Structure formats: structure tokens, C-alpha cells
Amino acid sequence: MNLLEIAANLITGASILLAGRNSVHTWWTGIVGCSLFAFVFLESRLYADTVLQAFFVVTSVVGWWQWLHGSHGEALPVTDLPMRQLLWQLLYGTLGALGYGMLLHRFTDAYAPFLDSTVLAFSIVAQLLMMRRHVQSWPFWLLVNSIAVPLYASRGLYLTSVLYAVYWINAVVSWRHWLHLRGAEPAAAA
């Protein structure tokens, strides 16, 4: 554990808690935290997670704008994802995990390429759903966190592993909170 990992965990932890509370401030804190985590994961040879952090930075900019203006100039409401679209997201995540895992296995010295790729693929699915304020983003975050905790611990990233265990609990609480928010008037952007 080093200062970079500690800073990445603190800032990203704040971002995740803000997401669960449906606060637009989740996005700018996420940009800072993910930028720091990119370096942490690169040092640990978790290349899919490094790429994922770059994805998070870009989508955080887009998510920030969408939460503020994404519904005809109004803040997006919390909604459900239709079942058919949910099944497509499961398929995309599975194919992405297998495909990227094969690439990492074949062409890099990545540690646990298929687990790392599963975290990548389903984090992308969860992030895209969260950007659109779909309740179903939270079960995907539960899956990601369930895999990430032991993966990060196996690389000696114990603080990050503990944080992802806290994220797991936050995903359960946030899922329940967003279930209550869905169908309500759009939340205040602050």
C-alpha cells in the first residue's frame, strides 16, 4: 500500500457513496479517483483495470452532463431497464469478458486475465446503465465487486480490496435507495 493507492481509494470511495445517494458530484470525484487508480492498476499489471479507469474518466464527463441535462434539458430520472435490454447487457458483458480475457491471456503478461476482463466488461455495462440512471446498474456493480475483492487482494492491493468490499455493501444499499427513487420526479442535481 502506498500513498497513491490510499488517495485513489479515498477519492473514489467518496465518488461511489455520492453515486448511491444519486448526487451529481459523483462524476467529478470519479474523474479524479479513476485517474489515480489507473496508475495503481498499471503498477500491479492489471491492464484491463487500467483501461477501465480511462473508460471511467471519459464516461464520467458524459455521465455528469447526462445527469444534469440528459432528458430534454432536464435532469434524468431514475428508471428501470426493460428486461430485453437487460438480457442484451448480460450478453455483451459476457462476450466482452471472454474476448478481452483471451486477448490479455495471449498477448500480455496480465495477472488473472479472465477475472480482470470480467471486472472490465461488467463495469462498463454497470457504468453505462448508471450514466442513464437505470436501477439495474447496481446488481452489475454487485457482480463486479464480488470478483474485484479477491482479485485485488491476490495482488496485494489490500486497501483497494477492502474498499471494494465496502462498495459491495454500498451497492446493496444504493440498489434499495434507487428502487425507491425510480418513477419519482427527477432528483435535484446537487
Are 133 and 67 a contacting pair, CB within 8 Å?
Answer: yes
Reported as a single tens digit per residue, the pLDDT across 85-105 is 999 999 999 999 999 999 999
- DSSP per-residue codes, 14-42: HHHHHHHTT-TTHHHHHHHHHHHHHHHHH
Cell of 91: 450478453
Sequence-distant (≥ 6) Cβ neighbours of residue 166 within 8 angstroms: 13
Task: Give 46 or 39, the one with higher predicted confidence.
Answer: 39
Q: Identify the DSSP state of 111.
A: S
**Separation of alpha carbons 16 and 171, rounded Å:** 9
> What is the overall mean pLDDT for the chain?
90
pLDDT band of 1, cuts 50, 70, 90: low
Sequence-distant (≥ 6) Cβ neighbours of residue 103 within 8 angstroms: none
